[in-house]
Amino acid sequence: MNRRVVHTRGGSPADVLTVIEEPDPATPEHGQVLIRASVFTVHPGDLQTIEAYPGNAAQPVPAGTEVTGVVEAIGPGTRVAPGVEVGGRVTVFPQPGAWAQWIVADADLVAAVPEELSDEVAAQMLANPLTAVMLRREAQEHLAFGYDGCLVQTAAGSSVGRLVTGVSQFHNFPLVNVVRSDRGAAELRKRFPDVPVVSTEHPGWADEVRKAAGGRPVSVALDPIGGKLAESLLDLLSPGGKLVSYGLIAKEPISVHASTLLSKSLTMRGKNVGQWPSEASTERRQSDVATAKQIALELRDQFDVAATYGLAELADAVEHAVRPGKVGLVLVRPW
């Protein structure tokens, strides 16, 4: 039997998620790969989707989007990415219903795991690095950035934030990191001593960001939080600047008067890594996955694991995944 995590309604994930048993998956068809899961990542974004699920579902809704495991079978005539073979380790994203012991995945979304990576890093190899790639592209494509502009990111101590910092250092992007506490700022300075960090714990933090920018205009702001913090970032941006919103942490909306956008010709852009497969060409997806692998290899020390749980401890795992002050991602081993 295959054990799978599902829900039938929205609400607190710890309350609405359950584990069911279902028949083992059938032999994969053309275009499919059968994977025996080794570990999956509990992304906060997955939990937000579950919490916001509307109404009641007629059938159980499978949970999760990213999983790492071993290939058990490949559908007949299926073209797979280089390195994907029976018995080989792979990671899949975005795979609806990834939180299960057995997964039948779309072959186009299956990527081979480099031998040098542990399962713990491999479990995080796609979603967060692809997010960092997506955000880097947004910054690069902005006309004001790349000359004398500066990049600012909030939640810089998060798993994605640390990868963005590493990527920015590699490309020599001027960057100012923003976190919510002095403690978080101190921890981030230990990881990246050459990158300025500002804490929003104190009034006047925006002026500290301007000072840390060293006279450069703040051209691009990357923000997964939203709400009041995003409004402050709009004030920080220089004329022609761009705010890239890629998360839903704050409960309140971003409230902005049109004059704020018009007076400085600002741009607001929303990005969702879950839409990456449909927005990118096949060639772009292949390039992005190759870059994500390289990020995982070069920055493997930044792929922290907050804790690892078993499937029987699912409620504890999802509670830990949203715990304030958590460093790294929560993993679940389904066997």
pTM for the full predicted model: 0.94
Q: Are 78 and 107 in contact (CB under 8 A)?
A: yes
Domain with CATH 3.40.50.720 in the chain: 128-273
When pLDDT is cut at 50, 70 and 90, the band that residue 32 belongs to is: very high
Domain at 2-125+303-333: CATH architecture:
Alpha-Beta Complex (3.90)
**What is the share, in percent, of the chain residues with pLDDT greater than 90?**
87
When pLDDT is cut at 50, 70 and 90, the band that residue 279 belongs to is: confident
Q: What's 250's DSSP letter? A: S
Q: Is pLDDT at 191 greater than 60 in this prediction?
A: yes
**Dist CA 74 CA 28 (whole Å):** 6
Using the CB atoms, write b or e for 166-199: b if 16+ within 10 Å: bbbeeeebbbbbbbbeeebbeebeebbeebbbbb
When pLDDT is cut at 50, 70 and 90, the band that residue 16 belongs to is: very high
User: Over the chain, what is the mean pLDDT?
Assistant: 94
pLDDT tens readout for residues 296-305:
999 999 999 9
pLDDT at residue 334, as a whole number: 97
**Dist CA 220 CA 242 (whole Å):** 5
When pLDDT is cut at 50, 70 and 90, the band that residue 325 belongs to is: confident
pLDDT at residue 92, as a whole number: 97
**Strand ranges (E), the chain:** 2-9, 18-22, 32-42, 56-62, 67-74, 89-92, 102-106, 110-112, 150-153, 175-179, 197-199, 218-223, 242-245, 267-270, 305-310, 329-333
pLDDT at residue 258, as a whole number: 92
Q: Are 55 and 7 in contact (CB under 8 A)?
A: no
**What is the share, in percent, of the chain residues with pLDDT greater than 70?**
98
3-state secondary structure (DSSP) of residue 121: helix
pLDDT tens readout for residues 52-81:
999 899 999 999 999 999 999 999 999 999
Residues written for the chain: 335
Weakest-pLDDT range from 38-42, 143-147, 250-254, 276-280: 143-147
Q: Which CATH number is associated with domain 128-273?
A: 3.40.50.720
**Residue predicted with more confidence, 200 or 138:** 200
Strands 175-179 and 329-333 turn out to be: unpaired
Handedness of CA 246, 250, 253, 254 (dihedral sign): negative
**Residue predicted with more confidence, 276 or 153:** 153
Q: Is pLDDT at 217 greater than 50 in this prediction?
A: yes
pLDDT at residue 144, as a whole number: 47
Q: Are 120 and 188 in contact (CB under 8 A)?
A: no
Handedness of CA 69, 70, 73, 79 (dihedral sign): positive
* Residues forming beta bridges with residue 307, ordered by sequence position: 330
Domain with CATH 3.90.180.10 in the chain: 2-125+303-333
Q: What is the full DSSP assignment across 172-221?
A: T--EEEEESSHHHHHHHHHH-TTS-EEETTSTTHHHHHHHHTTT--EEEE
Q: Locate 198 and state its tokens.
A: 């500002």
- Distance between terminal CA atoms of the chain? 12
Mean pLDDT of 244-250: 91
pLDDT at residue 147, as a whole number: 56
pLDDT tens readout for residues 135-185:
999 888 765 444 568 999 999 999 999 999 999 999 888 999 999 999 999
Element (H, E) at 129: helix 127-141
pLDDT at residue 142, as a whole number: 66
